[in-house]
Amino acid sequence: MIINQKFAKELAISLLEINAVILRPHTPFRWTSGWNSPIYCDNRLTLRHPELRTAIADQFTAFIRETYPDVDVIAGTSTAGIPHAAWIADRMNKPMAYVRSKPKQHGTTNQIEGGIQKGEKAVIVEDLISTGESAISVAKALEFIGVEVLGIVSIFNYGFALAHSRFEERGLNIHSLTNYDTLLEAGVKFGFVAQKDLELLTAWRKNPETWPKGF
């Protein structure tokens, strides 16, 4: 679900302008999963733009304050979610933690850093949602130590049906600042992608495992 429709459109344009998102329907990227993808998203580039990262943090903060007023701690995903979680936690005067995809192999072998405690309520901050595996693994790690996950927020969401069903199965609430549909709309409107390629780009989201077969 989109947090703010107006901001979603503004953010989509900004991500395209700073090349945090690149649309390349005819020379696709290759994901580690083996999927061909017409889109590459690197939200870490938002860190280079103070006004944009501030707007992102403000939107997240306002939403969390209104939707999850009883949150105890803001938990960022390692690594891209960490700075955004820190800015949100600072604005809300809340503790902040971050969660690795797996425990580190040395020292205290921690997976969760920042002192989050059993019984606390957390909101997870992700940079993007694709298949949902990363965010769900973080939620599992927090739930394992007795933390209640109120919800997950992300900058970008591809909107895959697979991810939606995974989150629904675990009862996790997902909200994003912008998504693939909004991005395509902005991309066509402002000339980042041709109207004639819209069908090809839309087809990828429906069948990412086999795309671009049939086109």
- State the virtual CA torsion across 62, 68, 70, 74 in degrees, nearest 10: -70
**For residues 124-143, average pLDDT:** 95
> pLDDT at position 156, please?
98
Q: Nearest 5°: CA angle at 93, between 90 and 49?
A: 15
H helices present in the chain, as ranges: 5-17, 50-67, 82-92, 133-144, 161-170, 180-189, 198-206
Q: Which amino acid is at 12?
A: A
Average pLDDT across the chain, whole number: 93
Local confidence band at 213 (pLDDT 50, 70, 90 cut-offs):
confident
Residue 95 has pLDDT above 60, yes or no: yes
Tokens standing for residue 187: 């991309």
**For residues 88-110, average pLDDT:** 80
Long-range CB pairs of 188-192 (<8 Å, 24+ gap) are 190/13, 190/16, 192/16, 192/23
pLDDT tens-digit map of 178-195? 999 999 999 999 999 999
What is the Cα 112 distance to its own chain's centre?
19
pLDDT tens-digit map of 14-72? 999 999 999 999 999 998 888 999 999 999 999 999 999 999 999 999 999 999 999 99
Alpha carbon distance 35, 64 (integer Å)? 33
Alpha carbon distance 158, 20 (integer Å)? 14
> pLDDT at position 168, please?
96
Is the four-CA dihedral 73, 76, 82, 85 of positive or negative sign?
Answer: negative
